[in-house]
Structure 1
Amino acid sequence: MKLIKPLIAITLTIASLSAVAQWQWIDKDGRKIFSDRGPGPDVPEKNILKRPAGSKPSGPSVGTEAATTSATSPEAVPALPKDAGVDKTLDAKKKQAEAAEAAKKKAEEEKVAKAKADNCKLARQAKATFDSGARISRTNASGEREFLDDAARAAEAQRIQGVIDADCK
């Protein structure tokens, strides 16, 4: 009983895959159509690009010799419009999405550039303060004021120089 249920599920899945047969053809407006149903009788045989494996051409049967010679001749290839299969609205939406993405990327780059410019300005001001030789104090975690000694001052000057090197290009 445990083996029967998966076997039935697999069988139904395989059977349903064959029902999803795909047709492709070019309609009278030059658009490529994809469907699980065959084209109507108004579509010429030369415009049918793909048919399911089990279906046969609806026209008269052609001998194999004639089929091979006509398949290699230039007249056998249907003349398709230059933009056959291209959906203009889909193409327009795609271009619009690409333009929106480019604008978003440009805005993000401008935002990063502005932040770097601001950081550069602040770092240069801090460097000027450190280079002036004035005593610099900070507030510690307990809220008390403490002055920087020479080692802390040198470390902070080095950190500020790193910011200037990174952001001021």
Structure 2
Amino acid sequence: MSHKPLSHPARPQPLLALGLAALALLLGLGSPAAEAQTQWKWRDASGKVLYSDLPPPANVPEKDILQRPPGKRAPVLVRPIAEAAPPATSPASAPAPKSASAPSRAEQERQARARQEQEQQARKQKDEERRVAEQRAENCKRATSHLRMLEDGMRISRRNEAGETEFLDERQRAEEAQRTRAIISSDCR
């Protein structure tokens, strides 16, 4: 059995070492470029999602900002101590009035309930409109089919009050066709 002597790995050549150094430099410089490509993402007042490399306008609420570039944190709002607690020197005095721009919790809850009721009413109205539209479409389909049978001259029968079968004569057929056309004109729009 012969043993081969272990060979030492070849040392990197100067050109290869220079290439690796240049690659490392490019990768190191690539991070700020990647950071510059990061985007802001927010929802505008109409609910549309927007993207930009600039921050959203100041009137966009904090809750509607969906994504920030790394390192851009949400602002922390700090309320001054004077507003947070009433002064201890006058316990009998009434609490300081809240600013008109900030509704109370009860007011916020009332507004939320009102919005929910409006949304529920809108859903009910939409469902009712859909149901009426489906009924009109069905009425239109039936009336169109019935008018076609009347105009084709097919013998049409119906039951009278006594439960007997009777066939429509020409006068009854004309009246039925006129009534059916009125249904078509109202329901087939």
Query: Larger relative CO (CA 8 A, sep 6+): 1 or 2?
Result: 1
1:89 aligned residue (105, 109, 121): 109
Q: Which residue of 1 aligns with 2:94?
A: 43
Within-5 A mapping of 1:129-148: 129-148=149-168
Q: Which residue of 2 aligns with 1:51?
A: none
Q: Which residue of 2 aligns with 1:166?
A: 186
Q: Supply the AA of the counterpart residue of 2:92.
A: P
Q: Shift of the alpha carbon at 1:144? A: 1.6
- Unaligned 5+ segments in structure 2 are 1-82, 85-90
Following TM superposition, where does structure 1 have runs of at least 4 consecutive aligned residues deviating by more than 4 angstroms?
none
Q: Deviations over 1:90-144 (max 9, x none)?
A: 1111101110111011101111111111000000010111111111111111122
Q: Which residue of 2 aligns with 1:128?
A: 148
Q: Shift of the alpha carbon at 1:158? A: 0.1
| TM-score, normalization by structure 1 | 0.53
2:138 aligned residue (102, 118, 124): 118
State how many pairs are aligned: 100
CA–CA distance in structure 1, aligned partners of residues 103 and 173 of structure 2: 71
RMSD: 2.2
Equivalent position SS for 1:146: strand
1:105 and 2:125 aligned? yes
Equivalent position SS for 1:141: coil
| TM-score, normalization by structure 2 | 0.48
Q: 1:82 to 1:146 in 2, by over 3 A?
A: same
CA–CA distance in structure 2, aligned partners of residues 81 and 137 of structure 1: 74
CA–CA distance in structure 1, aligned partners of residues 181 and 165 of structure 2: 25
Q: Supply the AA of the counterpart residue of 2:179.
A: R
Query: Higher Cα Rg: structure 1 or 2?
Result: 2
CA–CA distance in structure 2, aligned partners of residues 160 and 119 of structure 1: 10
CA–CA distance in structure 1, aligned partners of residues 179 and 150 of structure 2: 12
Q: Shift of the alpha carbon at 1:42? A: 4.3
Percent identity over the alignment is: 36
Equivalent position SS for 2:158: strand
Q: Supply the AA of the counterpart residue of 1:154.
A: A
- Unaligned 5+ segments in structure 1 are 1-27, 30-39, 48-78
